[in-house]
Amino acid sequence: MPITVVGPGDVGSVFVRAAEGAGEGVRVVRRGDDVRTSSLREGPIVVAVREEDLAGVAGALRSAARRAVFVQNGYVEPILEPLGEITRGLLWFTAKGDFFHVLGPSPFFGPQAESMVALLTRSGIDAVVIDDPVDQVREKAFKLAWSCVVGLPVALRATTLAAYLDQERVEAAALVDEVCSVLSATWGIPISASDAYARLLETTGELGWMTGSTKGLSMRNGAIAQLGRAHGVATPVNDRLLARLQ
Ligand SMILES: NC(=O)c1ccc[n+]([C@@H]2O[C@H](COP(=O)([O-])OP(=O)(O)OC[C@H]3O[C@@H](n4cnc5c(N)ncnc54)[C@H](OP(=O)(O)O)[C@@H]3O)[C@@H](O)[C@H]2O)c1
């Protein structure tokens, strides 16, 4: 089946190559193109723009939401929930320029999950459909905990991820703990911080060279701090890191 990829950056290019390798038609929508035209074509629409560009793209795809596949790392629920039934993909691979590494199976859930898993696995990228809503929530939490550690605190220390996880493991574990507590309170589902921390360690062995990022913070550490306030869960580590940024 042909696919459309909105945002042919690092992640979008992985889907473009996977579709080309499988002999599927692929149409690319770049910044400045009219995103709404993708809803006129058949097939899944992989939205691979960064979190900060998501709201405009998601709004333009409202009429084709069931065909849309969102792969953003952050807390993007306020943008996606109004769309109704959509597909989420939590990507456990890292693509940055020429670097590509599969960190683990990428879970997908929603109407396009089967086709996305088939597409990625055909090109050698491990992916899995997750049907259980509780498991979906846990997977979202594990990915958000990962993003809250791999980005902001590493960037603030101007160090590498390997050095951060080696020297600041108490802080890293506390960050994961905060994310899991906040998301447990938000979603009403127990989320194991020790499982989330284990996932972080399992998936970062090849990423020690990464230097962190402060992009999209309002949907990562900032969202956790805000949700914590809304649900009465203290987030002192995230608060301290966010304050240092200012
Ligand atoms: N990279 C990874 O390894 C990885 C892994 C897991 C999840 N993710 C998630 O995937 C998302 C994309 O990350 P990325 O690393 O691929 O970012 P990226 O390399 O910056 O790619 C984003 C692409 O979207 C384009 N874009 C922005 N607004 C657009 C619009 N309105 N219409 C069409 N295209 C638009 C950008 O164009 P410009 O070049 O003009 O900005 C760029 O080509 C992020 O939310 C990230 O959290 C990334």
- Taken in order of first residue, the domains within the chain and their CATH numbers are 3-129 (3.40.50.720), 133-245 (1.10.1040.10)
The per-residue pLDDT for range 129-168, each reduced to its tens digit, is 999 999 999 999 999 999 999 999 999 999 999 999 999 9
* Structure tokens that stand for 5 in this block: 């990829």
pLDDT digits (tens, 9 = 90+) for 2-16: 999 999 999 999 999
Q: Is the pLDDT of residue 88 over 80?
A: yes
CA of 136 to the centre of ligand 1 (A): 23
- CB-based contacts of 166, cutoff 8 Å, min separation 6: none
Q: Which of 16, 37, 49, 51 to mutate to test the pocket of ligand 1 (most atoms within 8 A of CB)?
A: 49
Instruction: Region of 32 please: left (phi>0), alpha (psi -120 to 50) or beta.
Output: left
Q: Which residue has the CA at smallest separation from atom 19 of ligand 1?
A: 9
d(CA 235, CA 171): 12
| Residues of the chain by 3-state class (helix, strand, coil), percent to 5 | 55, 15, 30
Containing 168, the helix (H) or strand (E) segment is none
What is the CA(43)–ligand 1 centre distance, in A? 20
From 30, 50, 101, the mutation candidate for ligand 1 (largest count of ligand atoms within 8 A of CB) is 50
pLDDT at 39: 67
- pLDDT number for residue 240: 98
For 180-220, the pLDDT digits (tens) are 999 999 999 999 999 999 999 999 999 999 999 999 999 99
State residue 13 phi and psi, 5-degree precision.
-65, -30
